Structure 1
Amino acid sequence: MARPRKPLLSRERIVVAALALVDAEGLEAVSTRRLAAELGVSGPSLYNHFRTKDAILDAVADRVCADVDLSMFEDATDWRTALLTWARSYRAALAAHPHIVPHLARGPGRRPSQLRMADAVFGAMTAAGWSRAQATRIGALMRYFVAGSALGSFARGFVDDAAVYAGDYPHLDQAHLLAEHQQQVDEGAFETGLRALVDGLALTFPADGARPEQAPAAGRPA
């Protein structure tokens, strides 16, 4: 039997094409019509693999989160070191694909990679002695912080024209230099905030660990 001229359509090909489109042009660029054109297929053929555009974006988001390292939660690493190491890996995965972050921010939904991550963090925190309520809050807190830090660059938000800041904004006399040092500024800010968060949590750990009765009932939010 002769080979088909074009590779057969698969979930994998659709997800790879959708991620490339999101990276290049943002979430708004993704549509079934556009993806079909990129893949050289008819639009309806995508529905054999994904029922909706949101389902495609869910798969893209899950692919990005699959790159997050969770091994530190399985290696009996102390909870502080585990949170620091995981958060850095999490941010690196999101920062490589910042346009998908708004979709990820909706929560894990049914996405396997995000559910595995939530399960790993919650399990490690409760095993370390945190109450279920605080373990839930820690997972939420870290997600807010990491997603926000990966969404955009603080440094790149300032133009490199010193005249913009002269006179009216005397405390921003060096702001025009921030974009030039974008990586140093943004990564430094992330590290500063991350360590402050984890150090702050450590200060409350003994008291929280002594109050397991504050845990929410199973299946209920904290």
Structure 2
Amino acid sequence: MARPRKPLLSRERITKAALALIDAEGLAALSTRRLAAELGVSGPSLYNHFATKEAILDAAADSVIAQVDVSMFGRLEPADGGARADGGDWRAALLEWGRSYRAALTDHPHIVPFLATGPGLRPAGLRMADAVFGGMVDAGWPPAHATRIGALMRYFVTGSALGSFAGGFVGDASAYDPADYPHLGQAHLLAGHREQVDQGAFDTGLRALIDGLALQFGRLAAGAG
């Protein structure tokens, strides 16, 4: 039997095509008609794999979260202060995870607003939530606090990926009249260093957040003692 001219349709192929379309043109560009055209199939054939357009969008969003490394949480064990001799402590885990999480989102910025709605029933999103919660509890955090840590990290990482601070400044020095903005004499240079500024700001905030959590962890430990 001769091979089909086009690859057989699958959930994975549809998901990849949907994410590629969103990456290239934004969320508004995704429609079943447009996606079917990109895949070279009829629109109704998509519904053999996904019940709705929303389900396709969920799968595309989940494929981004699947790129986030959460393996560091599986290495955490209960110990004094949540630390281990090999350095596998919850602070290092949050730092590593936060960076991986942001990297996945910044690689696919157009889908971030949809991801901000939460994991829903997305398998990769739920696996990430499960790994973070389990790791924090194993490290000694009470369950309620572990839940809050997962939430606040999502708020912080998602917010950082929604836009660029440096990219919000124009490259025209005359836009920042020193009479009006006496401290913004170099603001027109920020956009040219967008990645450096934004990544540096994220790292600064992430470390500050983790340092603050470490203080809370110490107080919780002292109270338990």
Q: Which residue of 2 aligns with 1:102?
A: 113
Q: Deviations over 1:32-90 (max 9, x none)?
A: 01101111111111111111111111101111111111111112321101000110011
CA distance in 1, matches of 2:106, 2:175: 28
Q: Which residue of 2 aligns with 1:162?
A: 173
The TM-score with structure 2 as length reference comes to 0.91
Give the secondary structure class of the aligned counterpart of 1:184: helix
Give the secondary structure class of the aligned counterpart of 1:64: helix
CA distance in 1, matches of 2:170, 2:42: 43
CA distance in 2, matches of 1:5, 1:138: 50
Q: Which residue of 2 aligns with 1:196?
A: 208
Which of 152, 156, 159 is residue 145 of structure 1 equivalent to? 156
CA distance in 2, matches of 1:191, 1:3: 51
Q: Which residue of 2 aligns with 1:34?
A: 34
Q: Which residue of 1 aligns with 2:103?
A: 92
CA distance in 2, matches of 1:112, 1:210: 37
Matched, 1:113 2:124: yes
Counterpart of 1:26, as a letter, is G
1:121–1:139 contact (8 Å) kept in structure 2: yes
Q: Deviations over 1:93-127 (max 9, x none)?
A: 11100111111111111111111110111111111
Over aligned residues, Cα RMSD in angstroms? 1.3
CA distance in 2, matches of 1:20, 1:27: 11
Q: 4+ residue stretches of structure 1 with deviation over 3 A?
A: 209-212
Q: Which runs of 5+ in 2 are unaligned?
A: 77-87
CA distance in 1, matches of 2:182, 2:175: 11
- Identical residues among aligned pairs (%): 75
Counterpart of 2:150, as a letter, is G
Q: Which residue of 2 aligns with 1:17?
A: 17
**Alpha-carbon distance change, 211 to 107 in structure 1, aligned in 2, over 3 angstroms:** farther
Deviation of residue 208 (structure 1)?
A: 2.8
Q: Which runs of 5+ in 1 are unaligned?
A: 213-222
Q: Which residue of 2 aligns with 1:178?
A: 190
